[in-house]
Structure 1
Amino acid sequence: MAATKYLNETEKRSLDRDAYCLNKLDSYIGDLNITHVHMGTLQTYIEARRTEGVKSATIARELAVLRRILTLAARTWRDEYNNPWIDTAPLIELPKWEDGAEPYPLNWEEQNRFFKLLPDYLNKMALFKVNTGLREQGVCWLRWDWEVQIPELNTSIFITPGKRVQYEDGVWGGEKNKEDQIVVLNQVARSVIEAQRGLHPVYVFPYQDRRIGHIHTTAWKKAWIKAGLPVDGSYNKGPHNLKHTFGRRLRSVGVSLETRKVLLHHKSGDITTHYSGAEISEL
C-alpha cells in the first residue's frame, strides 16, 4: 500500500527505477505492516542480494527508495484521523562494502579496437559521446530542436533541457541537477553531427527510424568482450566509461578544472546567459 501510494503520487525522472527497486524488496517485506519494516527485518533481503553478487551501491539505491517512503510515512502522510502512518521513520543504514566497479577510461588503441567492433549506429553514438562527455540518455535523446546556432563562430551547440519535458514518443526526464546543459562540439563531434543530418526529422541518432533507448546494448557488450577489454567485474563495462575517457583526456592536455566542469556537465547555472560566443569559443 505504501509503495503504491509512493509510485502514484511521486513525479521524478527515475520513477521507473524506483518501481524496479521496490519490486526487488517486495518478496522480502511486501507482506509486512509498514510499522514492522526496519533494519532487523531487512537483513534477509540484504544478505540474499549480496549472495546473488549484487553490489552494495545497487542495494543502497534500493534501500534509499524504501527510506524515502518511511520518511514520508512519518512526516507527510496522514490517515483519516490525521495521524502519521508511523510515529518515527526507522534508521535505514545503506551498505558500503567497497565493492564498486572502477571506471575504465580507454586509451586510444583500445578505443579504436573497440569502436571498430560496434555496429555503425553505435559507433557514431560512442564517437560522439567520447568527444562530448554527454551522458548515455543525453546521446539517445539528442534532438535537432536542441541545437542552437552560434553565428559569430559559424558553429552550433546543443542544449539539453534541465527539466522534464513531454514529447510525442515519451518523456525526457531532464538533467540530474535540473539545469540546462551545454554540449560543445569539437571537430570530431561536429563531423559526427554533420554526417547525421537528414537521417531523421527529430533525433540525431535514430535507429530503424526511431529513438534508441540505450547505448549499452547486447551489441555493445559483445564488442567489449571481443575487444579484449576487462570483464572480471573490477571495472565498469558500460558507456559511462566514455565520459571518464573524455574527462581524462581533457585533464591530460591541461584543460582547467573550471572548464572541465562545464564540458563534463558538472557546472550548473543559466547557460543561456552565462556563456557568450567568446566563452563558447574557449570551450
Structure 2
Amino acid sequence: MALFKRGDVWWVRFIAPNGRRIRRSTGTSDEEQAREYHDRLKVEQWRVHWLGEKPRRTWQEAVVRWLNERDDKADHQKDVGKLRWLDQYLGRLYLDQVSRDVIDEIAGVKKATASASTANRYLALIRAILRAARDEWEWIERAPRVRLFREPKKRVRWLTEQEAAILLRELPEHLADMAAFTLATGLRQRNVSYLRWDQLSLERRIAWIYADQSKSRKAFAVPLNGDAVTILRRRLGQHDTFVFTYKDAPVDRTSTKAWQNALRRAGIQDFRWHDLRHTWASWHVQKGTSLQELLELGGWSSYDMVLRYAHLAGEHLHSAAGNVQGTILAQSKNEKGLRLAAGL
C-alpha cells in the first residue's frame, strides 16, 4: 500500500490492473481513514478491470471536466469560485453519493448566509454538473432532483437624473468617469473596466464589444452619444491600452469602499453598480426608445430580458387608449338629456 502525505493530507498511489497509475488525494489527515479509502479504491479498480463494471467517478473528476469543457462561459471565473466553496461539502464524494440530502444540507447552509438568488446560483451549478455527468458523459445512471428556492420578484432599481448627478459628484474621478460612461452606453461593468482604445472609433462615434467579451457571446456595436464621446476625449493620453484606469491599471473592481462611501454621502440606498445599467435602460424607455432598439443597444440575447423595463414606457399606447375616449361621458350626458326631456 502506498500512502504518502502532502502537507496534512494523505494521498494514495498505486498501479491499477489496467496498468494505469492512480494518484489521488484522500481528502483526510487521518491515516486510518486514508487506508480505508486506499483499499476501497483498489477494489473498485479491480472490479472495473476484471468484471467490466462502470468506474465510480468522483465529484472532483466531474468538476475538472466541467471546467475544461465550459471554459468559454462568460461567468467561468464565477463558477470556479462557487466550486471552491462547494468543495468542502462535495470534494470527497463520489457522484453517486451526491444525494438529495447532501444537496439540501448545502442549500440550507448557503441560504443562512446569503439571499435566495445567491443560493440558487450554487444549486443550479450542482444541478448542471450532475446532469452533464448523467446525460453527456454517462458517468451516472440518475441525478437527484435539485430544488431551487423561490425568488421574490424585485422591481428594477434605477436613479433619477438628479440622483445620478449627485452620485457622480461624490465619486472619485476614475469611478465617476466609469459610472458616467455606463449611464451613457449601458455597458456592463467588465466591458467598461477592460475597454481598450482599439475597440473605439471617436470619428465614427462607435465602440465594439467582441463575442468573447459579451455575456451573450454575441458581438455587438455600441453607438456613442455626445456624453460618452466627451468622457472618452477626457481620458485620452492617460493610458496607451485601456480607457479606464487607476494607478496605471484597469479598474477590475468597482464596488469598493469608495463606491459605498459615495452612495452614503449621496443618500442613495440599495443600489449596486449593475443598477447603473438598469438606470440607462430605464431612461431610454422613458424617453421613447422602443424595446427592440433597447435590445440591440444593450446587447441582450433575448427579448425577455428587456421586458422588465416595459412598464416604464406607455407613450406608444396613447393612441390605443384614445379609442374609448369619451364613451362613458358621452353615455352619461345622453342619459341625463333623456331624463330632462321626460321631465324626470
TM range (shorter): 0.7 to 0.9
Q: TM-score, normalised by structure 1?
A: 0.79
Match of 1:38 among 95, 99, 102: 99
Please list every run of 5 or more consecutive structure 1 residues that lacks an aligned counterpart in the other structure. Answer: 78-83, 164-173, 269-283
Q: 1:65 to 1:267 in 2, by over 3 A?
A: closer
Conserved 8 A contact 2:179-2:276: yes
Larger Rg: 2
User: Which amino acid is 1:42 matched to?
Assistant: I
Query: Superposed, which structure 2 residues align to 1:13-52 within 5 Å?
Result: 13-52=74-113
Query: Superposed, which structure 2 residues align to 1:210-249 within 5 Å?
Result: 210-230=249-269, 235=270, 237-249=271-283
Q: 1:149-200: CA deviations, max 9, x gaps? A: 6xxxx5320001012xxxxxxxxxx212211121111111110011111111
Conserved 8 A contact 1:29-1:42: no
Supply the distance in 2 between the matched residues of 1:252 and 1:10 (Cα, whole angstroms): 38
Q: Percent identity?
A: 29
Deviates more, 1:211-220 or 1:123-132: 211-220
Q: TM-score, normalised by structure 2?
A: 0.66
Alignment of 1:133 with 2:182, yes or no, is: no
Conserved 8 A contact 2:211-2:217: yes
Moved over 6 A (4+): none
Conserved 8 A contact 1:50-1:56: yes
Between structures 1 and 2, the one with greater helix share: 2
Higher relative contact order (CA 8 A, sep 6+): 1
Supply the distance in 1 between the matched residues of 2:193 and 2:148 (Cα, whole angstroms): 31
Q: 1:107-163: CA deviations, max 9, x gaps? A: 1221122111111000000000011101111100111111146xxxx5320001012
User: Which amino acid is 2:259 matched to?
Assistant: W
Alignment of 1:155 with 2:204, yes or no, is: yes
Conserved 8 A contact 1:28-1:44: no
- 1:267 Cα deviation after fit: 5.8
Alignment of 1:112 with 2:165, yes or no, is: yes
- Residue 158 of structure 2: SS of its match in structure 1? coil
2:16 corresponds in structure 1 to none
Supply the distance in 2 between the matched residues of 1:158 and 1:119 (Cα, whole angstroms): 25
User: Which amino acid is 1:51 matched to?
Assistant: A
Deviates more, 1:7-16 or 1:239-248: 7-16
Please list every run of 5 or more consecutive structure 2 residues that lacks an aligned counterpart in the other structure. Answer: 1-59, 303-344
